[in-house]
Amino acid sequence: MTVSREFLAGLPKAELHVHHVGSASPRIVAELAARHPNSPVPADPAALAEYFRFSDFAHFIDIYLSVVELVRTPEDVRLLTYEVAREMSEQQNLRYAELTVTPYTSVVRGIQAEAFCEAIEDARVAAEKEFGLVLRWIFDISGEAGIPAADETLRIATRIRPEGLIGFGLGGPEIGVPRPQFQPHFEAAVAAGLHSLPHAGETTGPQTIWDALRVLKAERIGHGTSTMQDPALVDYLGEHRIPLEVSPTSNIATRAVDSYDVHPLRAMVDAGLVVTINSDDPPMFGTDLTNEYAVAARLLDLDEAGVGELAKTAVRESFAEDSVKTALLSEIDAYVGVNAL
């Protein structure tokens, strides 16, 4: 069964697992690199494709942080955020996105937290007005930076708390970064009304997912690639309807999964788990959300109506306001009704 690229491109979409810096296209990265010519990041968009070839997850983190180094001023933050929103809307037909933002990596490089938040908020308001794209923030701890990053991320999230902030997360490497050390931070964030949305089980086994659930009180699991290794975990996620934010191409690019043929997405769906489709760090992985829907349609043998249901799952499992959900669900239904074969 084949779903056309044209149908997938026009499908109104929501995305729940996509990173702020990791969404910078070659055009945006080249513009930032041109502003800061002492960076090792190529300013030539064509050269970035080779630069973004990763040998493993650790190499990916190194390259990711080199791009982070290009975001040095509040003006850089605003440019990045606004242009990412433009491309989400114009190229991917996104209507809603929960963008994972890592304020610590900018603050530690000298940008004041207040100025950082003002920059992303200014871009958020402009994106909704000019592109019709509703953006919300998940502030995540950069796991490789440990407790200092967690302390500062929690401070920014609870004391400055930009209007668009809805969640508290944990990203970066999992190996050597045990989840339980961040329990106090997640407890404080949840007590402040934020949703718990950590990455877990991407490059480690099911125990990391259990820690995210039991210790960090996760409401969704970022990646959860190793879920199917533990039948008890599968049962728990299914019983409690806890969604997995799945990003197939990302998992292959970072070597978390060997190939699409062995990706666990189909097994997750067959087991009755709730899954959403996401792009993670799309330009770095040579993908976009439209392509991820094409991958999912192929792996799950979906027709246009099935893809529409997958898109609606992302809306339902989001933390968008009810009015945003209702409008977007109606838009997806109308689109599929007109365009499905």
Integer Cα distance of 149 and 70 in angstroms: 19
d(CA 235, CA 228): 10
Question: What is residue 97's three-state secondary structure?
Answer: strand
Give the relative orientation of helices 289-300 and 304-316 as an angle to the nearest 10 degrees.
120
**CA–CA separation, 248 and 264 (whole Å):** 9
In whole angstroms, what is the distance from residue 191 CA to residue 193 CA? 5
Q: Are 298 and 39 in contact (CB under 8 A)?
A: no
Distance in angstroms (rounded) separating the CA atoms of residues 145 and 181? 12
The residue type at 214 = R
In contact, 23 and 282? CB cutoff 8 Å: yes
Q: What is the DSSP letter of 134?
A: E
Contact between 138 and 197 (Cβ < 8 Å): yes
**b/e map 79-110, b = 16+ CB within 10 Å:** bbbbbbbbbbbeebbbbbbbbbbbbbbbbeee
| 202 flagged as catalytic | yes
Best CA proximity match to 299, nearest among 337, 329, 261, 336: 261
Catalytic residue among 15, 202, 304, 317: 202
Of 123, 97, 168, 122, which is closest to residue 320 (Cα–Cα)? 97
Are 242 and 218 in contact, with CB atoms under 8 Å apart? yes
Residues known to be catalytic: 202
